[in-house]
Structure 1
Amino acid sequence: MENNTYDFGLVGLGVMGRNFILNVADNDYKAFGYDLDPEKVSALIKEGGDKGRVNASGDISSFVDALSLPRKIMLLVPAGKIVDAVIESLLPYLSPDDIIIDGGNSFFTDTDRREEYLKNKGIHFFGAGVSGGAKGARKGPSIMPGGSQEAYAQVQPIFEAVAAKFKGEPCVAYLGPKSAGNYVKMVHNGIEYGLMQLITEAYDLLKKGATVSNNELHEIFTKWNNGRLQSFLIEITAEIFKKEDNLGEGHLVDKILDKAKQKGTGKWTSQNAMDLGIPVPTIDMAVSMRELSALKEDRIKANTMFSKPESILKNKKELEEKTEAALFFAFIITYTQGLHQLADASKEYDYNLKLNTIAKIWRAGCIIRAGLLEDISEAFDVDMELQNLLLSPVFKEKITSSLPAAREIVAYAANQGIPMPGLFSALSYFDAYTSGRLPLNLLQAQRDHFGSHTYERTDREGIFHTDWS
């Protein structure tokens, strides 16, 4: 093994890391991997086939020495203390101007801290969100880099080569300074939580509201994916409904326990939105529903204590059409909330994000890729200062045409006792955002009554307090 001959290094040869480094090698860049697990090292060397093209080692010194200067090292390891530990293990072997890229789901303030720490040591560091799962990593993910633009320029040709392509355009772009990349990926995942929750609600409604079978659901979701709901998540949902159970009879989806797991990025999105003062209730509810799903024993007990309304079945065709429209409406609202958060965060953290660019690099490769993103990128092309998609002329007709179905589905689900908190929250958000006057004047009066918190008036300037008693 010759020193300084490999173009790109990658730490962490799990499923994502192995697929990403093979993608790099497939695009004519020589890549070298590192992992403490000898089995993962061997697996990569075996799958890579040609050591001159892709190689790996469990020795950190050999790994670093194999890379050309300035070294470009990407980390695909779990977020948190492991990232710091890997950085510390690399430092003794690095040279000034070497580049470390965190490709994991690190919390954005950790990225800011690490960038500052390594800058003082002469090492470039930046975060790059990677979306698309294992298949995306192998065939082309959406990549969201931020941080030092100078450092990114060194890696840009590699990232543009390995990224997914949409009509020939690579789904990667420099997004902004500091932790912009990790922040955008965090909100991407929050939107992902919201969309997934909404899809599960549509599934539940069709099953309970019209006894739609799994085979019928496969056909319905396949049809939806060929229309305005076209998206990766709708596509894979259609595939899920046709999967037979290889351990028993029937379809696998019916045998899966209804307790959802999460890794924290959705929760981070909600928490940070609250810090910024930006409402993202559909994303919030998606996080809460994963938490509520974990209370399985409590839910079973409560199910025996409270009866549901008498079931009134709907016509399958009618319910399918109304559910599709309601889901389309709620998809728009979920993207709206996440992008509004990005617009505000861009100002708060000086990211200088371009939301049209973000929408464009989400059009392929990532989990939330959807046909709707073409319209979203157009809306931000038309108005670069747009804060909320509900204020865009591009979306007015799409919303007004699907809104009646959303109202009808919400009313039907409420009367039937079918939980659809994601759709309910999306509709409530829309109604509140489009209300010129909300009843929060009463809330301000209450605050002033019990805590002398003061209030403003509609008819004159100033801050006021009243002795209410």
Structure 2
Amino acid sequence: MNIAMIGLGKMGGNMARRLSRGGATVFGFDVSADTRSQLAQEEANFKAFASVPELIAALPTPRVVWLMLPSGAISEAAFDEMKTLLAPGDLIIDGANAMYKDSQRHGAELAAMNIKFVDAGVSGGVWGLQNGYCLMFGGEKDAAAIAEPFMKILAPGADRGWTHTGPAGSGHYTKMLHNGIEYGMMQAFAEGFAMLKAKEEFDLDVAAISETWRHSSVVRSWLLDLIADTLQQDTELADLNAFVPDSGEGRWSVLESVELGIPAPVMSSALYARFASRGNDDYAMKLLSMMRNAFGGHAVSKK
């Protein structure tokens, strides 16, 4: 089993490790020479290459190439390069958190060249090497069949944690909504623990509560496990800024809800809370304060 992994960052590097330890021979490239050489030293089944053309030339045919790159311009450039290097019958797997409509476009463009395509949503984060990855992937049945053995290695088990979701685009669509749900779950936990911490009269031990909830409660989950582990070390989180980025999937989920006419107030609220964390509501809050003062004479707080 031979596969190329292009992009060996936090996700791609560990996926390459898991694949190589699972019996696949991994042909790897990353813009960082140090990253490439480190993996080559660690993994017997990993072969590092200094350039993408060199890698593609060495990869046995029919080629399977997994792109694990940031979505957007970097991925688009990689697709353009792949079109000049690959041949009919080869397969591209896109593991980026890409917009599903882009994946539908990529699938159609590659099909016209007789190059197979799979869009793979990958969940598991930095823990995937140890625990396995949850994989949801789209593409034609023949393309999915080629990808399946690699999915079984990456997944928690050959019989679980992966599914072929349907045609091209469906994998990234499913991952988009997975992340939208994740936004809502994270926001609910964050709000709940903030209220526990704020109830000073009870002097609640939030670390102990989080640990208790991990066992047999309705809200037990991996997110709660991560919260409990963090709070055991630091309940104040004083060194952290209240700034939460969003990578795009949450935005796309909310936009999709509008297009479908499906209410998604939890996802929308969680996304807006992230916007607010960056100071993007400061002017609105100032206007709210001004309005309360203007119509009711309520006091305003000034710097």
Scaled by the length of structure 2, what TM-score is found?
Answer: 0.89
Superposed, 1:18-97 pairs within 5 Å as: 18-48=13-43, 50=44, 53-97=45-89
Alignment match of 2:106 (pick from 89, 106, 114): 114
> Which residue number corresponds to residue 219 of structure 2?
229
Question: 1:283-327 CA distances to partner (integer Å, 9 max, x unpaired)?
Answer: 10000111111118939x86xx79xxxxxxxxxxxxxxxxxxxxx
SS for the counterpart of 1:175 is strand
Contact preservation (8 Å) 1:11, 1:33: yes
Q: Are the structure 2 counterparts of residues 189 and 120 from structure 1 closer, same or farther at C-alpha, using a change threshold of 3 Å?
A: same
> Which residue number corresponds to residue 193 of structure 1?
183
Contact preservation (8 Å) 1:72, 1:99: yes
Q: Are the structure 2 counterparts of residues 164 and 218 from structure 1 closer, same or farther at C-alpha, using a change threshold of 3 Å?
A: same
**1:285 aligns to 2:269 (yes or no):** yes
Superposed, 1:222-371 pairs within 5 Å as: 222-227=211-216, 228-244=218-234, 251=235, 253-295=237-279, 298=282
SS for the counterpart of 1:169 is coil
Structure 1 unmatched runs, 5+ = 1-5, 245-250, 307-469
Distance in 2 of aligned mates of 1:114 and 1:200: 37
Distance in 2 of aligned mates of 1:289 and 1:61: 44
Distance in 1 of aligned mates of 2:201 and 2:192: 13
Cα deviation for residue 117 of structure 1 reads: 0.7
Contact preservation (8 Å) 2:275, 2:281: no
Distance in 1 of aligned mates of 2:202 and 2:6: 47
> Which residue number corresponds to residue 172 of structure 1?
162
SS for the counterpart of 2:166 is coil
**1:131 aligns to 2:126 (yes or no):** no
- Range 148-157 or range 85-94, more displaced: 85-94
> Which residue number corresponds to residue 218 of structure 1?
207
Q: Quick one: percent identity of the two aligned structures? A: 30
Alignment match of 1:105 (pick from 62, 87, 97): 97
**1:181 aligns to 2:165 (yes or no):** no
Distance in 1 of aligned mates of 2:58 and 2:127: 27
Question: 1:89-143 CA distances to partner (integer Å, 9 max, x unpaired)?
Answer: 2222212110001001000000011111111111111210000102214541100
Contact preservation (8 Å) 1:143, 1:173: yes
Q: Are the structure 2 counterparts of residues 297 and 282 from structure 1 closer, same or farther at C-alpha, using a change threshold of 3 Å?
A: closer
Contact preservation (8 Å) 1:20, 1:138: no
Distance in 2 of aligned mates of 1:111 and 1:283: 23
Question: 1:312-349 CA distances to partner (integer Å, 9 max, x unpaired)?
Answer: xxxxxxxxxxxxxxxxxxxxxxxxxxxxxxxxxxxxxx
> Which residue number corresponds to residue 443 of structure 1?
none
Distance in 2 of aligned mates of 1:34 and 1:282: 39
Q: How many residues align?
A: 286
Cα deviation for residue 222 of structure 1 reads: 1.2
Distance in 2 of aligned mates of 1:42 and 1:139: 25
> Which residue number corresponds to residue 7 of structure 2?
12
Coordinate RMSD, CA, aligned: 2.0
Structure 2 unmatched runs, 5+ = 291-303
Opposite residue 199 of structure 1, the aligned amino acid is: F
Opposite residue 219 of structure 1, the aligned amino acid is: A
Scaled by the length of structure 1, what TM-score is found?
Answer: 0.58
Distance in 2 of aligned mates of 1:128 and 1:208: 41
Cα deviation for residue 210 of structure 1 reads: 4.5
Give the structure with the larger strand fraction.
2
